[in-house]
Each structure stands twice: as structure tokens, then as C-alpha cells.
């Protein structure tokens, strides 16, 4: 099994659309999967931030990223549609300091084989290479729907953090090295997570000192929103 990561090109767009549908089989009906225009727009605005993973020569995973303009605080409550401009990355700004993980997706047929882990690594490598301060993203609470009748999302996340419950997506993000800075309600229309997401944060260790100077931790940490 040979795994290869590389920047996406225009020739990959059709496969990436197909792959996004393979990764989000249960969201296709809700029309929140990428279409060709969105992926082309990502490549137009930030080709370096679109990375695909090939397993034995076939694309089986990808990340979609953009750099957030400094005028926007990505630690403040936000939605996926809002921060990504409807999934088009129109405000991608090379002068920003935050790499935003808009999507990570792997074909369901190869889940659990380390493709996601390699993509998270490529994400952090990109952050370091570009000299950016941090990676932020919204992580869907993949298995929350199974527990929503029994507990609020903040308790669910706390239990996953303590290792008492497993969440396919959040566990992969914690293993990758993300920390959870809060919860984002109505982040993305997604029945599995009841539309909640974690606010994920990874600090570039080469930049941590000056980030902490500019963004005092107490101010940067949003309160966990109450359940609705």
C-alpha cells in the first residue's frame, strides 16, 4: 500500500467532487457536499492549500484550506458557510495568519487506514511551511446524534476528551494534535452532529510565542455556547 500526498490540480476536480460525495454519503441529500465550481474556486484562490492523498495511485482523500483575513477573528463563533464564503474561499488572504481547515475527507472504503492521519500531518506541515501562526477549523461531531437524547453537546465532547466515548471525527482530530477551544452551534447543516461543531485549534510551535503575545489566551477562548 503506497500513500502519496501532493497539491491538487485542475485535472483532479472531477475525482475530488466524487470523493467528497463518497466521504459524506449521509449529507448528499442536504446538498452540503462540494460541487465542481467550489473546488475550482479553491484552486483559483489557494492552489497550495488543496492537497490530495493517493493510495496506490488513486485519490482517496483530500483537505481544503484557506487563509483567513486578519480582519476576521476565526476564534469567534462562526458558521462554515460564513467563514468559507459559501464554500468558495473568496476572502482567502495570503497576508493572514490563520490556516483554516474547511474540509478533510477520505473515502469511506479506506477509513481507518491512516489516510486521515497523513492529511492532518500535511495540514500542519503546510502551516509551518507558510510560517502561519495556527490552524483553526470546525470539526463535526460525527457520532453525536447517537447520544443527543442523553446529553448536551458540551458533555458529549467532554466525554470524548476523557476517552469515555468515541467519535470517529473528533478522535481523529485529537490524535492529530488539535485541541478543542469551544463549540460552534449551527456550524453546518448536518444531522449527525445536530449541526454542532468543535472549534479546533492547533498552534504552530515555531510561532507560539508571538501568537500568545498578540492574542491573550483568555480573550481568544470563546465560551462554550449553551445547547439549543
Ligand X SMILES: CC(C)(COP(=O)(O)OP(=O)(O)OC[C@H]1O[C@@H](n2cnc3c(N)ncnc32)[C@H](O)[C@@H]1OP(=O)(O)O)[C@@H](O)C(=O)NCCC(=O)NCCS
| Segment near ligand X (CB under 6 A); pick from 29-37, 89-97, 139-147, 156-164 | 139-147
Contact flag: residue 166 with ligand X (CB under 6 A): yes
Strands 134-140 and 98-106: parallel
Asked if 114 interacts with ligand X (CB under 6 A), we say yes
List the grid coordinates of 114: 491512516
C-alpha–C-alpha distance, residues 213 and 209, integer Å: 7
Question: Residue 139: beta bridge partners?
Answer: 198
| Minimum distance of ligand X from residue 32's CB (angstroms) | 11
Residue appearing with cell numbers 490556516:
99
Q: Of 96 and 138, which has the nearer Cβ to ligand X?
A: 138
Among 13, 39, 169, 224, binds ligand X (CB under 6 A): 169
CB of residue 41 vs ligand X: minimum separation in angstroms? 19
Contact flag: residue 171 with ligand X (CB under 6 A) = yes
Contact partners, residue 148, CB within 8 Å, separation at least 6: 156, 194
Q: Closest separation between CB of residue 194 and ligand X, Å?
A: 14
Q: How far is the CB of 133 from ligand X (least distance, A)?
A: 21
Size of the site for ligand X (CB under 6 A): 21
| Residue pair 97/133 in contact by the 8 Å Cβ criterion | yes
For the bound state, the minimum distance from the C-beta of residue 198 to ligand X, rounded and expressed in Å, comes to: 8
∠ at Cα 125 (94, 135), nearest 5°? 60
Cβ neighbours of residue 89 under 8 Å, at least 6 residues apart?
41, 42, 45, 46, 64, 66, 102
Residues that bind ligand X (CB under 6 A): 23-24, 104-106, 111-117, 139-140, 142, 166, 168-169, 171-172, 175
Amino acid at each position: 500500500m503506497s500513500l502519496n500526498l501532493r497539491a491538487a490540480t485542475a485535472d483532479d476536480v472531477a475525482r475530488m467532487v466524487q470523493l467528497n460525495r463518497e466521504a459524506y454519503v449521509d449529507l448528499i441529500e442536504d446538498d452540503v457536499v462540494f460541487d465542481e465550481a467550489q473546488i475550482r474556486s479553491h484552486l483559483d484562490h489557494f492552489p497550495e492549500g488543496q492537497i490530495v492523498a493517493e493510495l496506490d495511485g488513486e485519490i482517496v482523500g483530500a483537505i481544503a484550506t484557506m487563509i483567513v483575513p486578519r480582519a476576521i477573528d476565526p476564534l469567534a463563533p462562526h458558521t462554515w458557510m460564513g467563514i468559507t464564503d459559501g464554500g468558495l474561499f473568496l476572502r482567502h488572504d495570503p497576508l493572514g495568519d490563520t490556516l483554516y481547515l474547511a474540509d478533510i475527507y477520505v473515502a469511506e472504503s479506506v477509513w481507518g487506514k491512516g489516510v486521515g492521519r497523513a492529511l492532518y500531518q500535511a495540514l500542519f506541515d503546510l502551516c509551518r511551511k507558510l510560517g502561519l501562526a495556527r490552524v483553526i477549523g470546525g470539526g463535526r461531531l460525527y457520532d453525536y446524534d447517537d447520544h443527543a437524547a442523553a446529553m448536551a453537546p458540551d458533555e458529549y465532547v467532554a466525554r470524548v476528551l476523557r476517552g469515555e466515548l468515541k467519535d470517529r471525527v473528533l478522535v481523529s482530530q485529537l490524535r492529530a494534535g488539535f485541541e478543542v477551544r469551544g463549540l460552534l452551534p449551527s456550524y453546518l447543516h448536518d444531522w449527525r452532529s445536530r449541526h454542532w461543531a468543535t472549534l479546533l485549534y492547533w498552534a504552530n510551535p515555531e510561532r507560539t510565542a508571538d501568537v500568545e503575545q498578540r492574542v491573550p489566551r483568555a480573550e481568544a477562548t470563546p465560551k462554550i455556547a449553551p445547547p439549543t
